A and B are shown apart, each in its own frame.
Chain A
Amino acid sequence: MSVLLPRRPAAPQAAQIGLRLPASPAFTAMAHPSSWSLVRDNSGAWYLLPRLVQIVHMVGVNGVRVSRGEDGRPVADPSEAIRDRQAQGWVLVPEVDVYAHGQTWGHYCLGHRVVTGVAYRWAWEAPQVAHGRSVVQVDRDAEVAFRRWVGSDLLGLPECPDDLADAHRLKMRDSALRLGVEAQTRPSSARRLEHLAAQLVSLGWADGIDLPAPRERRPLGRAVTPPPAAAPTVDRAAALAALGLTADELVELVARRSAASPVGALVGSTLPDGAAFPDGDDTPAPRRRRG
């Protein structure tokens, strides 16, 4: 079996000199008909596409061994590891052109020279030095297109099989239900629920999820009675001025059991229609709690 090894990295671009990213080994990608995961494109839409695992070319990892390269120097040889995976049903992703970041690359794994060596990345990842920092721009449309191609052309599965999609859907639904309860008190759960809701809606598995508003936390130790409903507020001074009354005259009017009058309504009287104040002020004094 011939093993495809990633090409050597291209000469570094001027803008890439000084990339301060950790060096990382080259890798071979493999896919399995029953291993799917969610991925989003640049617009934020989510797709369920084949998951790609990486067989890293690091000696001593997962059966990767040392062999002699063309120039006689030792190189990591993943052929044994790949054979093992193939025996378990994994499919080797061949070396194909990948269109990402506006140009076509000859391999899905590209090397970039960094300060500590070479960092191998997916073709849709573009390490750059921007504003003095090393950042990695990800062309998610390219990743979606590549994984879609892996599904349709390599695995012969243009869509995720129904049973696997259902398993994903049920798992996400269960998570959403649980997070919906937790989100009221845990910010991290609320944040995760937002992501989950976006995924479910994007995949067409939910029309929409009402994200709960954070609940006010009750002070611990003592039950708190809810505050009474606020009475309708009235600008009394303005009302009195409009009516040409003083405050004392208003009190007198109320005492005349004129609750149904506009004046009574203006002062916010809670006296229901038909009710009557008794003569004199016999408003019961508030009861004081003992102890």
Chain B
Amino acid sequence: MRKLTFLLACLILVGVGLVNAQSRSITGNVFSADDGQPVIGATVMVKGTTIGTITDTDGKFKINVPANAKNLLISFVGMKTVDVVAVNNISIKLESDSKQMDEVVVVATPFGIKKQKNEIGYAATTITNKFITQANATNVQQALNGKVSGVNVTTTNSGVFENAKINIRGIRSLTGNNQPMLVVDGSPVNLGYLSSIPPDDIDDITVLKSAASAAVYGPDAVNGVIMVTTKKGSGTDKLKVTLSSSLQVTKVAFFPKYQKEFGAGAGETLDKWGNYLYVPYENQQYGPRFDGSTQQIGLVLSDGSSQSGPYTNAHYSDKVKFWNSGSTFQNSISLSGKDFFFSLSNADIKGVMPNDKNQRTALRFNAGKTYGKFSINYNIDYTHQDWDVVNESALPSLFASSSSYNGSVFFAVMQTASNVPLLQYKDWQNNKFAQYSNYQNDFGLSPYWIVGNLRQKGTQHDIIGNVNATYKFANWLQLDAKLSSNMSFQSWKNTTAPIVVSDWAHANRNPTQYTSTLGKVLDGMYQYQRINFDYYLSGEKKITDDFGIKYLAGGTMRRNEAKDIELGGSNLVVPYLYNISVRSGDASVSSSSNNNFVQLANANITSSSLGAYATLGFNYKKWAFVELTGRNDWDSRLMASNRSFFYPGANASLVVSDALPSIKNEEQGLSFLKLRGSVTKSGNVNFNPYALSATYSPSSGFPYGSNAGFTANATIPNKDLKPEFVTTTEAGFEVGFFNNRVNFESTYFFQKCTNQILSVSQSDATGYPYALANAADFNNYGVEMDLNLNPLVKIGRGRISLKLNATYNNNKVTRTLNNTTVVIGGTDNFAASGLQQSGSSPTVSNVAIVGQPAFMFQMTDYARDPQGHVIVNKTTGYPSESSSTVTLGRTLPLWVLGFTPTYSIDNFSFSMTWDFKGGHYFYAGMGSDEDFAGISARSAEYGRNRFVFPNSVYDSGEKNSDGSIKYVANTNILVKDGNAGFWTGGTTNTQIATNYFASAAAWRLREVNITYTLPAKLIHQVKGLERVTVSAVGKNLLLFVPKSNQWGDPEFNYSSTGNTSGISSSFQTPASRYFGGTLTVQF
């Protein structure tokens, strides 16, 4: 940050007379009170004159002052201005000023026109590099989490890619994209790229929460913008070198609650009293209670050998130890010269999943040069990732008959009985009992075998480059043109090892799993490029001393091109040789269905858009600002007659404390007050190219020789689709007290979202189960608040400061097509994508219903009496499934709170981030599978004995006076079978979604971090050394959830991009804790 502000300081000084005659010379040093480091680029002015200079890279300055000069004013952006007596050899300490820090500029055009924050009529938050690196985040999503009001980051997995889902101010599209736009150094880039930017390269991140920014950024900005500015040249001749090294360790945590009392068995064998006996090869754990006796594990093998061990839960801990300590080892070096910045970084990531790894190397070069009126800036960055991970998506199609449920590695681990020494099966190649044919479980695979044999190796190259040329015709007019391009090349190969089953296993074991299959491969390549050409004329002019205007008019052209190739074979004949050409029978060529929100397979995809926009701003005395905006877009994805759409906007801000200086009382009262407001409309085309026609796909099996066969795909689109429109109204204020030690900022926003493009379920009898149409409207509204107490208290030299942020966000559906319930997604989609497939798992959907929030859960429930008691059968004691589904609970949080207290003293700082999300619910998709497998704590709630279904009633056989059925409370009818009979029964248990539904409220200690900067005295003993910082961090340390949540971290979601929320499954790695440390050395 300091380097950038140094440049700014230089600019500010343009027009300031630098030298004066008749003077004396004064030298001095400027230090930061925070860390004792020299402040580079601080402005030193002679009070009451225009004479000034700036400090050099060592924080030193030399200034010639008039003989009569009395005082010097030393100022620096983000620090409090100091007024000192002008004496020679002066040493000045600057204290940081949090309020001013926020007043830095935000980038408000695609090309980096900067604006003072005061000018902006909508909410924007800037996070500096210091804040990012202090948190020791391995990626930017993590850095944003809990720090900015209105920003909700959801982790989807703790794998080596660390995907996260980011929503700013909730949602604006029911089924389309709700993820913010990412702009890196002025180039629009896919959001997924965010995780591959090395945090050390980042100068600052600005989050524009408002849709108002869409006026210049175009439709993609309707969900807010995350603007990342990478470091530029330092502006000084001295070459600065920074080395940084960090290590982060990941440990699994927050498992669902499991039972630890019962072993394998599913009622295949019973004792004479009907109790379930132990079955040594079962996956379901409905066997007898652990009793310490010695029991056989698995079958007696063909050579007569077998395993046995104590029948206890001694090996429960194997299920935790199965997971590795994941690690992220990140090293970077950066060089920063006068007009360039170069960095090279490498991250070596090992997952908690055994054998999963990812390596990321990134290179960045930013530079610029000015020749008179012409200046040019260019940057290029290149990121390369190489990964090798387990490919769990191959599990559902592993066997010819998918009636075996293997779920995922997580599930395979968890459904291992607690008397089974899981860790001993690590060597699946050589250990006799770990080999495929001999594994102890007849219905569940060894997780080690899965990890060793289902793999994905992939590599990805991303190149982003842009050139920005500026010609300044005059002070009041300049032309900017920018060509930017980003390209991504991805290539991956999924391999599934052949299964070779021994003759013994073939003859003696369950054929579902003990059937030989050939090796499989899927080889894919994806190439994407986006080219943007942007140009605009802009300038500003002072009409009078107090009144000025700013103007800008420009256009943008964009072309997106992508190509995808996916070829595979499930019939590879040379064992362990994974090449499509080495096979018997046909190759498989993935074909595209027409889900309009999913990437097409084996396809060439092109889309283009044009935009033209203009803004006109007025300012008065630097305390009143009004800006009018307008933009028209043309989008190729729409029908020619609908393709053009216009959206206007306006925003205004008023710095009341400057307009009415009398209300100010810097020390004891109000020091700053700003009011702001905006109204903006924006349009967005929320579907893929080629979505306007119904399509046909080749059917599986076909072609047979020359016989081709096609089938109609599932969606019929309305050819006349229009863009989705969002009208955002927001109003807010920013206020500071006591010399800005207390800052508060709040914004109310209301977004009217119309013309929602939805894939609406319709009757199969229409021929198309889905129709694509402008089918709904909804309102999204809320309040966001940030409170900053800096410092809260000072204890001696120590300071405690506190940042609080809170967001209340709600929404309401106001219209749906034909007033019907719109199903957005849910477990049906699971089944289709092979994510969840055990026999009788519940139906759970996210739905939009008029008058309700988007989204609500709709799910299966028990049949209940009018009072809500579960009705049980009078003879069996079993409940039954209701014929209709219930609508319960919202999917998105109503409240998101963040607390970041910081304690700092001298060179040491300690901070924590706590956050809370609440008011929403989640469905634990793994719950029914865990009950089916008998591993959940729930399934052992009654000790596997018969029990009275709690809070139940039964039909007395009599009628009430009004003719309705008379239900009586059930106090004595026990369920017929309190073991597998009840717990694995679909209508009695596993098919009832409400059994796996809980509040998603959670308090979380998201982050603790400790930073220490070595004292300057110490490090200056080493020549050239400028700064040494060490820090330690712990993340996701504590989690507090309500008792009703038995399934662990509610934040995990099975999908990272879709709008379906709050549906977790066992198809993910367990949630994790992170611990790490960083060493940064600067020369």
Binding between chains A and B: no
